[in-house]
Structure 1
């Protein structure tokens, strides 16, 4: 048997109020989506001020009504700078009798029914808790495992363990991956099994601390998975530019004579892609900054929780995540930024080479046009002169009857000969 007294399930859920380049209309839309999680008569107040922690409903804790009379719970909402935080708490309304671990399934169903599925979230944490009956011989880890399996059909039970206020804590998470740039699907669960009611009631005083800590954690995870999407976008941009570069390199001689329009089109295409590449590179650096700021806040909040809880609390398991961020997330993004900056240099070199090629082709066309003008000018001038003189059959032309009889044809022949000689002489002098 895996029995607990007063099994309680809390969902800590986070949604951005504002983000980079968010318009007022978009901010209002996000706010409206967040408010849809709460009862329609909720008194909501969110002044336009920068604040680390602000309760935004009156009263701060709003009891919810369930059709299942055996349940009780409440909503608690805050704003942490640019992020809304929502805690939904649901418990079995009985603090004397033991309940099976499978009761958590009922609690989760109740909470999910109260959520608006359209809400865009950046992260969430499921927090399961309860206390053992007096003189219980049950293994807290066995109860924690059964409670976890009641919510998630996941046989991979490999928790990080710790103690807090005499309770046994178990943390599990799967980094997973984010399939879009809106919702984070990270799987994060904490299970607390307290030895008695007094310990559980003391631990309940830390809910506001968990609200802040889990917010920083969610923002770190969200920023990292955003960086993976941005990196993928950067690689796609780079591939597109490489494809355009190969097209120009594979042009044969016949195509090169007609290549200036195609080259300009390719250059414009590369320019447009490069602009997106540069924006993505800036966004990648921005995600790194988000992780650095929130990692610092996470570590500070965890230190405050340790200080508040006092001695004999082993919260080192919560430091595993900050180690992950320090040893994997930040170095990975830093390396990606360095590599992508090298890629940016290569792309700029490609653009410069394409521009140079266009200038060479343009110069050759202008030179060829000048040649044509010079040769044609010499021919036309010759035709005009010869035609007028031959028509009157004067000077040398009087000796050649063909010029007198056919002045137009004769002038054209002479013009062609002169044009050819001019072209030949200019070619020899180049």
Structure 2
């Protein structure tokens, strides 16, 4: 028969949240959650600032229930440890107490939280312990569905079960929740496990940090997939300079400028993703190292106590789960790294084409300017020389025609003027040509002159 009661029930909550820099006086959702918790427990505000001691409390609307509240600062993380338990150590309690405890202790964190359900059964079989764990969870969650328990772990002779999901299946973007259920053989074991709360808080802290790092890595990959720039099928995408069917130089120039801007934006995303993945990879490795060290400390301390300690799923998390997280993040990084190099080469190619088009455009503009200058010099010199000679020689020519050709007809006079005009123009054209050639040789001494 399924047990209907448990002895000396405890509920621990370990919750973790990144410290946030507030730009205004408005409290963050996490701070609001913790303030509500403190108010429910009738604790003074100093409980949030004094990290040197536990703050005990009594739950007034739950008969014979006490606990303590304590804040910790762990690196960049604000950590909270709070628990409550019945004073009655010898009489059986209904499993519904876990739901009542949960309502009192509920709080949110941006990294994650772990619930530890604790109690003991007298002379219980392994099957009784498993049934008790399921009943405790169903009451804790007010959920009639039977949970999937991960068995195989023991702590100080107690049987430990875990209900936990991999980060790939998380639906809550803010935090992840894990639940441990520890069914002890007697009262003293419950009390002894309670003394491990600080070591457990650090162990859960590093585990949640590992999961947080891995979740960020997954989100980076998802973001790049949505952007269409993460390599599919674990292959390096091919980036080829696309020559559009455009004939105009200005249109080509505009097209490649557009391509350059677009690919620079993609490059920036690659760089940011790689830097983020590198940071997450380093954090994963460091947090895994700290996790394994803390687990070793707990195991060493447990050897001094009575009862078997075999923390199977904690070992598996460090040896397999977290290690796989690191390998997968490394895989993301190594897939993106050649993509970055390829994208940089592609951008370099685009820049080369832009420089070529710009040089060709500048050359055409320079040629147009040169032709314009040559034309201005040629026409200016021709007109100026012709006009100057005509003006200078006009009085002499008029005097000569007047004195020596009085008998000439008007047609002959017109022909004489036209002849001189042709002569002036020829002199001007010759002068313009010579001046233009000289200007060309002066501007480009090494170039041969010519049309």
Q: Same fold (TM over 0.5)?
A: yes
SS in 2 for 1:57: coil
Give the CA deviation at 1:91.
2.8
Question: What is the match of residue 184 of structure 1?
Answer: 175
Q: What is the number of residues matched between the two proteins? A: 389
Residues in 1 aligned to 2:124 and 2:219: alpha-carbon distance in whole angstroms = 52
User: What do residues 306-348 of structure 1 show as CA deviations (whole Å, max 9, x unaligned)?
Assistant: 1111163212331111123444101111111111111110111
1:216 aligns with 2:209: no
* Counterparts of 2:34 and 2:250, CA distance in 1: 64
Q: Is the 8 A contact 1:248 1:263 kept in 2?
A: no
Aligned equivalents of 2:19 and 2:26: distance in 1?
Answer: 8
Please give the alpha-carbon distance, in whole angstroms, between the structure 1 residues aligned to 2:91 and 2:105: 22
- Alignment match of 1:319 (pick from 315, 320, 326): 315
Alignment TM-score, normalising by the size of structure 1: 0.76
Could you tell me whether the CA contact under 8 Å between 1:295 and 1:325 is conserved in 2?
A: no
What does residue 101 of structure 1 align with? Answer: 95
Select the residue among 250, 260, 264 that pairs with 2:257. 264
SS in 2 for 1:257: helix
Q: Give the aligned CA root-mean-square deviation in angstroms.
A: 4.0
Which residue is equivalent to 1:121?
A: 110
Find 2:295's aligned residue among 288, 302, 307: 302
Q: Corresponding residue for 2:394?
A: none
Please give the per-residue CA displacement for 1:258-299, whole angstroms capped at 9, x wherever unaligned.
343453354345334433432331221111111111111111
Match of 2:164 among 144, 150, 173: 173
Structure 1, 134-143 or 27-36: larger mean CA deviation:
27-36
- Aligned position for 2:376: 380
Matched, 1:9 2:3: no
Sort the Cα spacing of 1:199 and 1:174 in 2 relative to 1 into closer, same or farther, 3 A.
same
Matches within 5 A, 1:15-414: 15-17=17-19, 36=35, 37-39=37-39, 41-43=44-46, 56-57=50-51, 59-69=53-63, 71-112=65-106, 115=107, 120-133=109-122, 139-152=128-141, 153=143, 155-177=146-168, 183-185=174-176, 187-235=177-225, 239=229, 249=242, 251-254=244-247, 256-310=249-303, 312-388=308-384
Contact 1:160–1:172 (CA<8 Å) still a contact in 2? no
- 1:51 aligns to what? none
Distance 1:268 1:398 in 2: 70
Q: How far apart, in 2, do the equivalents of 1:157 and 1:273 lie?
A: 43
CA contact (8 A) 1:219 1:294 kept: yes
Aligned-partner Cα distance in 1 for 2:416–2:24:
92
Q: Secondary structure at the match of 1:79?
A: strand
**1:389 Cα deviation (Å)?**
6.4
| Conserved 8 A contact 1:140-1:168 | yes
5+ long unaligned stretches in structure 2: 232-237, 391-414, 441-446
Question: In structure 1, what is the Cα distance between the partners aligned to 2:416 and 2:146?
Answer: 113
